Structure 1
Amino acid sequence: MSQCLNPVCLQRNPPKTILCQSCGSQIVLKERYRAIRILGEGGFGRTFLAVDEQRLDTHCVIKQFLPQQSGSAALKKATELFEQEAFRLNDLGKHPHIPDLLAFFPQEGRLYLIQEFIEGQNLLNELRQKGKISEFEVKKILIELLHILQFVHNNKVIHRDIKPENIIKHSQTGALFLIDFGVSKEVGNNVLTKLGTVTGTPGYAPPEQFRGIVYPNSDLYSLAVTCIRLLTGYFQKPDGTDLLFDLTIMQWIWKKYIFVNHDLEIILDKMLQDLPSNRFQSATEILSVLQPQQLSPITISPNHSRQVTTTIVSPKQPIVFRDNLGNNLFLEMVGIPGGTFSMGSPEGEGYKNEKPQHNVTISPFYIGKYPITQAQWQKIASLPKINIDLNPKPSYFQGANLPVEKISWLDAQEFCARLGEHTGKMYRLPSESEWEYACRAKTTTPFYFGETINTDVVNHNNKYKQTTDVGGFPPNNFDLYNMHGNVWEWCEDAWHKDYTNAPNDGSVWTGNDNKRILRGGSWLQESGNCRCAYRHYIVAGGSNYGSGLRVACSSA
């Protein structure tokens, strides 16, 4: 369908309509942007889902300025704020977790802003659907948003409206995106900025913001409020009352309703200080405190019951690039720094085929942040055949954000070839040594969490009876998810019975054997089979309910 943009009409028209059949208004903006349906509306106007007809009907977002304010001063301010979003996005430049600005222009007497479309829902809607968000997930949200704000503040911009509604979670990858820079402000050399009007959202904005003053750590205050609301599920009511804030003493009392790790409690309390001088001064400062974080002791299998402390180090901001596969479906790739590591298992650990342990030097490369999802597989499988046919829906367990499984090594080769043809990059499977290096992420223990694992941090041992959505468990130090469990991941190498004469430069170890390497374990495997060093194989044309893949490439 084609959506009329005339505010007094909004007629739905047949596809490819040029002029609205009801009011005669232009349907297509700038002869390329066609609205499909209304996504939402607010005080400044409406937002439409649209397609860019000059980019193979790629989805995008049309923001139409349609202020409800009356009076010349209010209308002028509203216009400034709408225009400001375009200016700030342009000033910021590209960031993988801020939707790109595509265009900004007037047409038929109205202003329009065109942005990249992020398929997903905001955190407020997710909270309403699923209930309170766990401490672990909120910590992940905090870290991801701090990295985004680090970029925003380094570019001399203050967002001024951090809240769950302005954070979108991508439906396929789970990645977070910060949106709505309409009230953001560029700051000068003195950091302090005086505003003509109060902006932001009550219940999130810090005290100084209501006096027309903001600092970078004003955003950090709002981010902390966002975290405690996601943890508790409590929000400020329309009458101004708030279970999390005691107006009689003017203090946050969120800890009355939720218990969290003491370290996280200290961080959130400092972010919530009334006086800006008492808060963390930057996102970078908070991230330095968040690394490392300790989890509680955990116990693994009844046969090998012991308690260990698992350390999760919050990853430093990695080098990431995203390839748009079409229809706003993205493939995220993480840059892995080069280095030397000990591949295989030491004496007293593992199996004979994991020995001898030997040093391997790896050159920098890129690898998928997540295993390939079923949505990504289906998209690439729909592209023209290169060598063999691909089943677009091969998986036993169905779900767009579940990892694809039941694919063979030959299927994986065809997928990489089609992906490379589509993107212009040389996608491939990782070598076995690249995979283990990426999995270990500078650690030397059997798992990147430590000596052992449990089902709270890895999908394994048939705990969940199937595969689970990618990104649902903690990442390693390279910010890679699901390297242990969920699905086996194909490597490029042929099977060899041990590491005698194995290459030491990270290259693929070829051979005449038709068997190919799988790594990482799966949802069905016991913990020992999910270790960093554990090796498995099946024939190149074979597959099972746990055989998936994660792609690599040598350059962006």
Structure 2
Amino acid sequence: MQICQNPNCSNPFNPDGNKFCLTCGHSNFSNLLVNRYRVLSLLGEGGFGKTYAAQDITRFDDPCVIKQFFPQVQGTAALAKAAELFKQEAKRLYELGENHSQIPRLMAYFEQGSSLYLVQEFIQGQTLLTELRQQTFTEEHIRQVLADLLPILQFIHDRNVIHRDIKPENIMRRQSDGKLVLIDFGGAKQVTQTSLARQATGIFTVGYAPSEQMSGFASPASDLYALGATCARLLTQCLAGQDASGNLFDRLYDVYNAQWLWRDISQEKGISVSDNLGQILDKLLKHLPRERYQSAAEVLQDLNNTKAKTTILSVPQPPSSPVQPLSQPQFLPVQAHQTNKGLILQTIEFDIVTVDAGGTKASRKSHNANLFVEKLGNFLTLEMVQIPGGICLIGSPLGEGSLNEKPQHQVTIPGFFIGQYEITQAQYQAIMGNNPSTFKDEKRPVERVSWYDAVEFCKKLSQKTGRTYRLPSEAEWEYACRAGTTTSFHFGGTISTALANYNGNFTYAFGAIGKYRQETTPVGSFPPNSFGLYDMHGNVWEWCQDNWHNNYNGAPTDGSAWLISGNNNCLLRGGSWDGKPGICRSAFRDWVEADYCASVIGFRVVLE
């Protein structure tokens, strides 16, 4: 494909062999757009513009998608206004893609002539429309579609973004991990398709969009309606289409009575649907917006409220982030046993690693631990590891750490249970009814929680379960983190970004520079310590019960929390994704005021 090099050309794409540009008549051609993108082929086109497959030659020919938009406006001032709105929409798309792994990343945007361009990440995979032509979708498939897409919708709706065009063609299954990715956001189309005086939205696909959206008034409930229509069509294999005369036909929707017929067609085709899923689809597809679900979180709650054997959105699960754990706990084929407190324990097996002085993996060993699984409802669980009592040196030895980590002293710790993972956003949402986190993802640790928030979570969790949950004491936390080790970290004398989430631009001891992820990672993304606990180093700071003291002079030796009435300064342990490696040490301690919250602070809980 040839690219016209006239900077004012509104449509520079030309077939090979042309001597003059079809749009402007210019004769100077190149195979690059803006001297950067090699355009390979046309992927699709519509009233708003065209989409091309391309390569970014400045990024080792990385594949990308270029979307060209034609603003439907007249006059220089109107075009300038459209370009400014387009820039705003591009910024929103950039923020979405940078903060959610199931939304394509925006790599660039620019103007040329009277056209506007977006360059986005190329998703290798196939759409659900392609899958529909290859296979039958069962209830289990539909549940998984909902489980994958609803958190994405909650994420964008929380940021006041409406997709506007959810349908099987705009949902891709990524080849690398099997996750569904939501593509082709309608925000930029809104700027290019509608008049500046009517910015509501003219973006929709007949057969998926509700009536209020087709009238120009989209809301989050409109996206949920389109998701319901998508699921109903996948389940019944009934797509809207045109007959030989060009007239629209749709077996699945009775337009005169505004009624979906998916139940009738399912029965006709012998498709079995549970009451739970049927009620969810019916509510998603209500004609009036006020009668539908008002948030994706509400749908997820009902989706999990089923006695089906298939677990949907169980947390934690093996993470879907690029950081892959070296091992995940597996239940051993042994008989469950019961403690003298009536807790049914299961034995888990896992691998731990140790590192050499340079942070390279030196050995791997198999360990096991006892686990109590607290059921929170709706297939959501809280995994609590049994920690045996023992004696531990708390604080840092000579030559390590600061004065507030001294004197190193011996503490006798009674046995207790502590969370295998940091409290996740799904768990926090289930107990508290909200999710304050910056990096939204049900499998990531909850953050932006104050000490008071963490204490309130423990209180409500205790009320729900009838068992006493609380924050760990500082001594319990360090004992659990060390897991019998005396080195700076539970895996050795240094740290690596292959073993923990911290600011890898900095090093500790003889360790190497690593990766700075600039965000939290799903819990369990890195190998555990020998107690079977994950993310004790990095990811998010973890609140402890204790108030801050400048050193350990006079500290309790029985493992209890060190409290001072009226002291509002509370302990933090473990470091975070944004911190230097030294603050992730087992002995490092810090504090902030109890009402402080940030995207670097979370917590885990202890069971009395």
TM-score (norm 1): 0.53
In the TM superposition, what whole-angstrom CA distance separates every residue of 1:247-270 from its partner, at most 9, and x where no partner exists? 342211111111311100001101
Q: Is the 8 A contact 1:159 1:184 kept in 2?
A: no
Q: Write the deviation string for residues 304-331 of structure 1: whole angstroms up to 9, x where unpaired.
A: xxxxxx3524235979674xxxxxxxx4
Give the aligned partner of residue 268 of structure 1.
281
Pick from 169, 174, 178: which aligns with 2:178? 174
Tell me if 1:244 matches 2:252.
yes
Q: Is the 8 A contact 1:161 1:201 kept in 2?
A: yes
Inter-CA distance 134–29: structure 2 relative to 1 (3 Å threshold): same
Cα distance in 2 between the residues matched to 1:435 and 1:145 = 35
3-state secondary structure, aligned to 1:105: strand
Q: Which residue of 2 aligns with 1:372?
A: none
Of 185, 193, 198, 2:202 maps to 198
Code of the residue aligned with 2:58 in structure 1: it is Q
Q: For 1:146-157, what aligned pairs fall within 5 Å after superposition?
A: 146-157=150-161
CA deviation after TM superposition for structure 1 residue 63, in Å: 1.5
Alpha-carbon distance, 1:182 to partner: 2.6
The CA deviation at 1:121 is 1.7
**Residues 153-232 of structure 1: matches in 2 within 5 Å?**
153-183=157-187, 195-196=199-200, 198-232=202-236
Aligned residues between the structures: 360
Alpha-carbon separation, structure 2, partners of 1:213 and 1:139: 28
- Structure 1 counterpart of 2:99, from 94, 98, 102: 94
Q: Which amino acid aligns with 1:245?
A: Y
The residue identity in structure 1 corresponding to 2:69 is F
Q: Out of 312-321 and 105-114, give the one that drifted further.
A: 312-321
After superposition, what is the alpha-carbon deviation per residue over 1:152-186, rounded to whole angstroms, capped at 9, x for unaligned?
00111111111111111112321111111234799
Any gaps of 5 or more consecutive residues in structure 1? 14-21, 187-192, 296-309, 323-330, 350-356, 366-412, 450-476, 481-502, 511-549
- Write the distance in 1 (CA, Å) between the matches of 2:330 and 2:14: 67
Deviation, structure 1 residue 433? 4.6
Distance in 1 between residues matched to 2:151 and 2:142, nearest whole Å: 14
SS in 1 for 2:222: helix
Matched, 1:314 2:318: no
Distance 1:321 1:217, change over 3 A: same
**Structure 1: how far apart are the matches of 2:326 and 2:334?**
28
- Decide whether the 8 Å contact of 1:270 with 1:279 is kept in 2: yes
User: Which residue in the other structure is 2:295 paired with?
Assistant: 282
The alpha-carbon distance between structure 1 residues 215 and 131, as it changes in their structure 2 partners (threshold 3 A), is same
Residue 497 of structure 2: aligned partner? none
| Counterpart for residue 49 of structure 2 | 45
Which residue is 2:263 aligned to?
255
> Quick one: structure 1 residues 233 and 214, their matched pair in 2 at CA, closer, same or farther if it must change by over 3 Å?
same
| Aligned with residue 114 of structure 1, among 102, 113, 119 | 119
Task: State the match for 1:490 in structure 2.
Answer: none
Is the CA contact 1:234–1:244 (under 8 Å) kept in the aligned structure 2?
yes
The unaligned stretches of length 5 or more in structure 2 are 5-10, 19-25, 191-196, 267-271, 338-344, 382-426, 428-441, 445-480, 492-523, 528-534, 539-576, 578-608
Question: What TM-score results when the alignment is normalised by the length of structure 2?
Answer: 0.49
1:504 to 1:126, Cα distance in 2 relative to 1, 3 A: same
Cα deviations across residues 188-244 of structure 1 (Å, max 9, x unaligned)? xxxxx9845532111111121122112211110110000001111111223233111
CA-atom RMSD in angstroms = 5.2
Write out per-residue CA displacement over residues 357-391 of structure 1, whole angstroms, 9 at most, x where no aligned residue.
8878999x9xxxxxxxxxxxxxxxxxxxxxxxxxx
User: One-letter code of the match for 2:66?
Assistant: I
Contact between 1:198 and 1:210, CA under 8 Å: does it hold in 2?
yes
Is the CA contact 2:348–2:369 (under 8 Å) kept in the aligned structure 1?
A: no
For residues 66-465 of structure 1, the aligned pairs below 5 Å read 66=70, 85-92=89-96, 93-107=98-112, 110-128=115-133, 130-183=134-187, 195-196=199-200, 198-238=202-242, 239-258=247-266, 259-295=272-308, 310=309, 312-315=311-314, 322=321, 331=322, 333=324, 344-347=332-335, 432-433=366-367
Deviation string 1:412-443 (CA, Å, 9 cap, x unpaired) is x9xx9xxxx9xxx9899986458998xx9878
Paired residues of 2:2 and 2:14 also in contact (CA < 8 A) = no
- Larger Rg computed on CA atoms: 2
Q: Percent identity?
A: 38
More divergent stretch after superposition (428-437 vs 194-203): 428-437
Counterpart-to-counterpart distance in 2, 1:46 and 1:429: 53
Contact 1:428 1:551 in 2 (8 A): no
The aligned counterpart of 1:19 is none
**Measured at CA, do residues 318 and 285 of structure 1 come closer, stay the same or move farther in structure 2, by a change above 3 Å?**
farther
DSSP-derived class of the 1:161 partner: coil
**8 Å contact 1:51–1:59 — kept in the other structure?**
yes
